[in-house]
Amino acid sequence: MAINLPPTAFSKFNEAIKLFEKTATLVYPEKKERCGNCITNTMGGRSSNFYRTGGPTPFDRGSICPLCNGEGFKLIDAKESVQLRIYHRKRDWVDVGIQVDTPNNVIQTVGYMSDYTKLTKAKELLVDIGGYNQVRYKRLAEPFVQGFKQNPVQYVVIFWETV
């Protein structure tokens, strides 16, 4: 028999969960961006090592472009902040319904289902641990969907391993 809870119960539950959230940074795979400082060859896409008028850093003809080192493009890291509950100790982990055997350098995060695409596209997760230290994690397994069917807010559980 299904239990029907009033919607107000879920609003209080979702508000209480927000008290334990921390901001973490998602790092996406690098994207190639054409160098705006030099002219690029149409064959091969490498730099012709000629300064592009209006570029940020002028350089002499024939010398290597100082911005892209003659590659013709720059790799740009894309980052984005996201709110997550982060569990460092196994005893605090949310039960996902299966027995998970993980090494000691694994954390569990619980985020919003609305951030599912962001979390799965990210190549790394940066977590602040006290002051100025950041730890890098990579996703260890596929996400688990978590939550009550009646709750309009759904959650996703992901395991991350230190890099």
Domain, as residue range, for 149: 7-28+78-162
Q: What was the pLDDT predicted at 14?
A: 67
How many domains does the structure of the chain reveal? 2
- Residue 61 shares a structural domain with residue 119: no
Instruction: Confirm whether 1 is domain-assigned.
Output: no
- Looking at the DSSP bridge assignments, the partners of residue 163 are none
Q: What was the pLDDT predicted at 46?
A: 87
Q: What's this model's pTM, rounded to 2 decimal places?
A: 0.74
CB 125 within 8 A of CB 116: no
Q: Which of 44, 71, 98 is the last residue of a domain?
A: 71
Q: What is the pLDDT of residues 117-148, one digit of tens each?
A: 999 999 999 998 877 788 999 999 889 888 76
- Residue 62 shares a structural domain with residue 130: no
Q: What is the pLDDT of residues 36-73, one digit of tens each?
A: 999 988 887 888 889 999 999 999 988 999 999 999 99
- Residue 147 shares a structural domain with residue 82: yes
Instruction: Confirm whether 84 is domain-assigned.
Output: yes
Instruction: Confirm whether 2 is domain-assigned.
Output: no
Residues in the chain: 163
Q: What was the pLDDT predicted at 10?
A: 67
- Residue 91 shares a structural domain with residue 138: yes
Q: What is the pLDDT of residues 16-26, one digit of tens each?
A: 677 788 999 99
Collapsing DSSP to helix, strand or coil, 92 comes out as: helix
Tell which residue, 115, 122, 97, has the closest CA to residue 156: 115
Q: What was the pLDDT predicted at 78?
A: 92
Q: What was the pLDDT predicted at 13?
A: 67
